[in-house]
Amino acid sequence: MRGRFRLGHAALLVVPALAVALTLSHGRRTREDERATLAALRALAGPALPSAEAASATRSSPPARYDRERLYELIDGAAETYLARGFEACLAATYAYPGPPEIEVSAEVHRFASEEGARATLEAERPQAAVPLPGLAGAQGDGSVLLLARGRDLLKLTLLSLHPRGREALLALAAAWAEGTR
Amino acid sequence: MSPLPPGLSRREVLRRLSSAALALAGVGTGAVAFSERRLAAAPAPAVRDWRARPEAPGAPSVVARGPDPADNVRRALLSLGGMARFVRPGETVLLKPNVGWDRLPEQGANTDPRVVAELVRQARAAGARRVLVADLSCNDPQRCFARSGVRAAAEAAGASVLDGSALELVDAALPGVARGLLVMKPLLEADRVINLPVVKHHGLSRATLGMKNWMGVFGGGRNRLHQDIDRSLAELCALFRPTLTVVDATRVLMRNGPQGGSLADVKAVEAVAIGLDPVACESWGAVQLGLDPRALGFIAAAEKAGLGTAEAGRVKELGPT
């Protein structure tokens, strides 16, 4: 009798434990679904600039949008090579970190029709002295320029100030952008 | 009771009304035609030949090297006879540098401000009444002129700086590839024009030098010139005949042009070439990028058109200071 009672108690414990496990599992799948949904919505919305707040910076210029017709206004004849790689749209803005002296960074996010287009542009525009940057998978830079591709999007950051902490500013913006693309 | 005056038939009224209508139509048509004739007859601003005197291909061109860009400009000009040989007192001189990009001088994407400033000083010393520095930038014009250092340097030397926010554009009825493009008005009104490109790599044309620099005188729509870039640049070389071509190779952006950004992509060549043969100067600039001038379609086309020589060796080295 006592043995059957222990078996029954065990069953009473297993059933609720199973129920809790199933509920948690469902919740995690739901959160993952939401994250995937958000990522898909962001992808549909077009390229997005790094969050100034997330990077602890301020925007020193309003975002400017360039499509296939207007890309020349941003990068002149180099637009031809972008178009050939499937360029679709670009958002650009300038960010600032307070000084003195102030650090300014130019940011461009280019969206291509395919990941291959973004990757090919990264490789073509990688500065001669660029190396993989620690702490940010896929980032390539040389201290004054940083390039990072995520999916169909290519982030290009250019330091507009000669500052010993400029590299940190580039990494902070790139990290904020990468987080926003997850 | 008839509403018509006595003795006046309906037919007569209609006849008189028709005559009046025809007369009015005739006057109106004449007025319109006359007005349009006057508009059509108003001549479009012409592009002048700004050369001090027409020069044959292979005309003198020199290059000065050294760590001080302003000194390089002075020495090169002196060896050509001095600015007074090219600028007369009272004239308006327009300098056309490359200030296309929101970049620091160290990034080599724009003409060096020290080169611009020295040319301003030289033109003023030669008696120019007014010296203008103008360009229609690709990026935000005020940022470009500020971050490049050109505005501060040129204004300190006594020039009036005109960026895209202050430049009036006009229809100059240009021929060929430039047909339909608006051009900066001060260019057409200047007595002397000095083309002042920076030497750098270009992702499409492989090099951007003096011929490409002319694209910065046009307003919107100039991007179509990229479609047939070699022919376009050679035509611009034929269209715009500057007083002098000054090729700035103080810092040369060797890759990832025209925008640049990486300091590691910039090479300190520390040289300035000045000449009367724009094709020779162009060729010299191409050599600084490690390129064969005649392998660049626009240079080959310009030479073939008799606009100058692609022989870079014709640019005489003055040697270091």
User: In chain A, which residues have their Cβ closer than 8 Å to the Cβ of B262?
Assistant: 127-130, 142, 144-145
Count of CB atoms situated within 10 Å of the CB of B47: 19
Collapsing DSSP to helix, strand or coil, B265 comes out as helix
Write out the residue range of the structural domain in which residue B235 sits: 61-320
| Closest among A116, A159, A77 to B263, alpha carbons compared | A159
Residue A128: per-residue pLDDT: 86
Considering only A1-15, B31-45, B296-310, which range has the smallest mean pLDDT? Answer: B31-45
Count of CB atoms situated within 10 Å of the CB of A36: 10
Q: What is the residue whose two structure tokens read 């004739």?
A: B37
Query: Is A79's Cβ below 8 Å from some Cβ in B?
Result: yes
CA–CA distance, B76 with B70 (Å, rounded to integer)? 10
Residue A36: per-residue pLDDT: 67
User: In chain A, which residues have their Cβ closer than 8 Å to the Cβ of B223?
Assistant: 72-73, 76-77, 79
Enter the tokens of residue B137. 């930038």
Q: Is pLDDT above 90 for B232? A: yes
Enter the tokens of residue A17. 């434990």
Q: Using CB atoms, pick whichever of A77, A125, A127 lies closest to residue B258.
A: A77
Query: Is A75's Cβ below 8 Å from some Cβ in B?
Result: yes
**Residue B55 counted as domain residue:** no
CA–CA distance, B57 with B264 (Å, rounded to integer)? 36
Q: Report pTM.
A: 0.83
Residues in chain A, overall count: 182
| pLDDT interval class at B11 (50, 70, 90) | confident
| pLDDT interval class at B65 (50, 70, 90) | very high
Count of CB atoms situated within 10 Å of the CB of A107: 26
Regions of chain A with pLDDT less than 70: 1-11, 20-44
Q: Is pLDDT above 50 for B39? A: no
Continuous H helices in chain A? 2-45, 71-75, 79-84, 115-125, 166-180
**Residue B18 counted as domain residue:** no
Q: How far is B176 from chain A (nearest CA, A)?
A: 20
φ, ψ of residue B222 in degrees (nearest 5): -70, -15
Q: By 3-state DSSP, what share of chain A in percent is helix, strand and coil, each rounded to 5?
A: 45, 25, 30
Q: Do A77 and B226 touch (CB under 8 A)?
A: yes
CA–CA distance, B72 with B66 (Å, rounded to integer)? 6
Q: In chain A, where are the structural domains located?
A: 1-45, 46-180
Q: What value, to the nearest 5°, has the Cα angle with vertex B236 and ends B232 and B241?
A: 165
Q: Which residue of A lies nearest to B105 if distances are taken between CA atoms?
A: A160
Q: Do B107 and A144 touch (CB under 8 A)?
A: yes
Over the stretch B156-210, which tens digit does the pLDDT of each residue have?
999 999 999 999 999 998 999 999 999 999 999 999 999 999 999 998 899 999 9
- For the residues of B184-251, what is the DSSP string, one character each? EHHHHH-SEEEEE-EEEEETTTEEE-HHHHGGGGB-TTGGGGGGGHHHHHHHHHHH-B-SEEEEEEEE
Portion of chain B with pLDDT greater than 90, in percent:
79
CA–CA distance, A109 with A130 (Å, rounded to integer)? 19
Positive or negative: CA dihedral B190, B192, B198, B204: positive
**Residue B188 counted as domain residue:** yes
Q: Please state the domain count of chain B.
A: 1
Q: What is the residue whose two structure tokens read 């199933």?
A: A22
Query: Is A51's Cβ below 8 Å from some Cβ in B?
Result: no
**What's the CATH code of the domain at B263?**
3.40.50
Residue B41: per-residue pLDDT: 46
What average pLDDT score do residues B275-296 get? 97
**Residue B8 counted as domain residue:** no
Collapsing DSSP to helix, strand or coil, B151 comes out as helix
Enter the tokens of residue A60. 């020193």
Q: How far is B118 from chain A (nearest CA, A)?
A: 25
Q: Do A78 and B205 touch (CB under 8 A)?
A: no
- Confirm if B88 and A144 have CB atoms less than 8 A apart: no
Q: How far is B282 from chain A (nearest CA, A)?
A: 19
| pLDDT interval class at B17 (50, 70, 90) | confident
Q: Which residue has the higher pLDDT, A180 or B279?
A: B279
CA–CA distance, B293 with B285 (Å, rounded to integer)? 9
Collapsing DSSP to helix, strand or coil, A59 comes out as strand
- Confirm if A92 and A74 have CB atoms less than 8 A apart: yes
Query: Is B213's Cβ below 8 Å from some Cβ in A?
Result: no
Q: How far is A112 from chain B (nearest CA, A)?
A: 18
Q: Using CB atoms, pick whichever of A73, A77, A128 lies closest to residue B264.
A: A128
Query: Is B202's Cβ below 8 Å from some Cβ in A?
Result: yes
Q: Which residue of A lies nearest to B203 if distances are taken between CA atoms?
A: A78
| pLDDT interval class at B139 (50, 70, 90) | very high
